[in-house]
Structure 1
Amino acid sequence: MKFLPISLLIMALATATALAYDPSPLQDFCVAINDPKVFFNGKFCKDPKQVTADDFLFKGFRYPGNTANPLGSKVTPAFVDQLPGLNTLGISMARIDFAPGGLNPPHTHPRGTEILVVAEGTLLVGFVTSNQLNNTLLTKVLYKGDVFVFPIGLIHFQLNIGNTSALAFATPSSQNPGVITIANAVFGSKPPISADVLTKAFQLDKKVIDYLQAQFWYDNN
């Protein structure tokens, strides 16, 4: 029994070590360079004495986004690039406008969980779990006032299934959550991913892969 406290101490230290991790990045990558004024993981801070109320104001949500595009949707972000006051606060917003039948296509946010509230219309939303949980689709129909959460990094989407325009507001848990639109990234990358890779990955004929890579993949952001 006299060894029990020591054992508990070792377990506690091991647990503390296991829980330690690098902070989540705020940009896609941060290649090291001797001059720190070029790029670093975040943004430099303005002199607090020069801050004004305008630094915390964003007017971009006043007007609907243009949904006259192949997806029938438009995302208007209020991330740190649009709203400097968000820097270091770990939060942001986006307005999402949908034409009837409009889709915010399957995508992920690598650096933020997203909570979505429907302001107008009816949306079919969902996300897919990881391989660990057998890529299970969790989906729901949302109505005005409903709220839904998309966990960080998981593929998710929103589809307007109503007969009228729809509007939703999303709040990611990052000042710069990032967006990876699946179809754009897989079939529209520059330079393109090898057709040999994609034919094996999707079990499709090379002609189908060539066709998909030749398409124009619209970005609604």
Structure 2
Amino acid sequence: MKCFHFLVFLALALAFSFASADDPSPLQDFCVAIPEPENAVFVNGKFCKNPNLTIANDFSFSGLNIPANTRNRVGSNVTLVNVDKIPGLNTLGISLARLDFAPNGGLNPPHTHPRATEILVVVEGTLYVGFVTSNPNRLITKVLYPGDVFVFPIGLIHFQFNVGKTNACAFAGLSSQNPGVITVANALFASNPPINPDVLVKAFQLDKNVVNYLQKLFWESN
């Protein structure tokens, strides 16, 4: 319930936080994304629906009050509301996510958003969060409690880890309609096609058997 009640506050906060995050000098009120290019104008990665045909559902999404399933290998789940979920976000430079964590170690693994800065607010539970700066690689971390806010700069590796004994819930705003995500372990050990094991052996100074095991483990988990 706390997560649900917090949605209204978060929506207001995001409106102010990303007031300047949209595309520079837009020439229309909005550009509702459509999958087909027929009779449409191409803008910033998506085609635009005729403005006269837009409806309220182009600008809405339901269900962010529902906790996601965290019974998985890492004990977390991210519900992302981007341009694919709300077509009306197209060209507006903003998206939203709900993050749910299992008790005692639920983890959103180290990852990056190549196209967005993230601002996170904790609603329930206790999260240990942090990011790593570009060279030199300095770790910046903090333990967050309900009501605390933390910012992860664009492109930097970051994570969230539930250090509490109860479920944790947080919401995040991202400064892109399509922020993208690169989960570090998956990118390195489960890429398609796989990275040559010799590259990973030398990069991580690991035995080749360990690298082969990790590639098999992450490939199967994907």
TM-score range (shorter-chain normalised) is 0.7 to 0.9
Q: 2:119 aligns with which of 115, 120, 132?
A: 115
Aligned pairs for 1:50-129 (under 5 A) are 50-100=53-103, 101-129=105-133
Rg larger in structure: 1
Q: 1:18 maps to which residue? A: none
Match of 2:45 among 42, 46, 50: 42
Equivalent residue, structure 1, for 2:175: 173
Mapped contact 2:126–2:162 kept (Cα < 8 A):
yes
The C-alpha deviation readout for 1:74-102, integer Å capped at 9, x for no partner, is 00010000111111000000000001120
Does the 8 Å CA contact 2:100/2:167 hold for their aligned counterparts? yes
Give secondary structure in 1 for the equivalent of 2:218.
Answer: coil
Which of 155, 160, 163 is equivalent to 1:161? 163
DSSP 3-state at the match of 2:70 = coil
Moved more, 40-49 or 200-209: 40-49
Instruction: Provide the C-alpha distance between the structure 1 equivalents of 2:131 and 2:218, rounded to a whole number of angstroms.
Output: 25
Whether contact under 8 Å (1:103, 1:160) holds in the other structure is yes
Q: Deviations over 1:147-189 (max 9, x none)?
A: 0000000000000000100000011100000000000000011
Offset at residue 41 of structure 1 (A): 4.5
CA distance in 2, matches of 1:72, 1:198: 26
Report the counterpart of residue 17 of structure 1 in structure 2.
none
Distance 1:142 1:162, change over 3 A: same
Residue identity in the other structure for 1:62: N
Aligned counterpart for 1:130 among listed residues 121, 130, 134: 134
- Letter in structure 2 aligned against 1:187: F
TM-score by length of 1: 0.79
Task: State the alpha-carbon separation in 1 of the partners of residues 63 and 113 from structure 2.
Answer: 21
Whole-Å separation in 2 of the counterparts to 1:50 and 1:76: 28
Is the contact made by 1:60 and 1:76 (CA closer than 8 Å) also made in structure 2? no
In structure 2, what is the Cα distance between the partners aligned to 1:181 and 1:67? 17
2:218, 2:183 → 1: CA distance?
13
Tell me the distance in 2 between the aligned counterparts of 1:188 and 1:150.
25
Identity of aligned residues (%): 70
Q: 1:191: Cα distance to partner?
A: 1.1
The CA RMSD measured in Å over matched residues stands at 1.8
TM-score, normalised to structure 2, is 0.78
Deviations 1:177-220 (A, max 9, x none): 0000000000011111001111111111111111111103646x
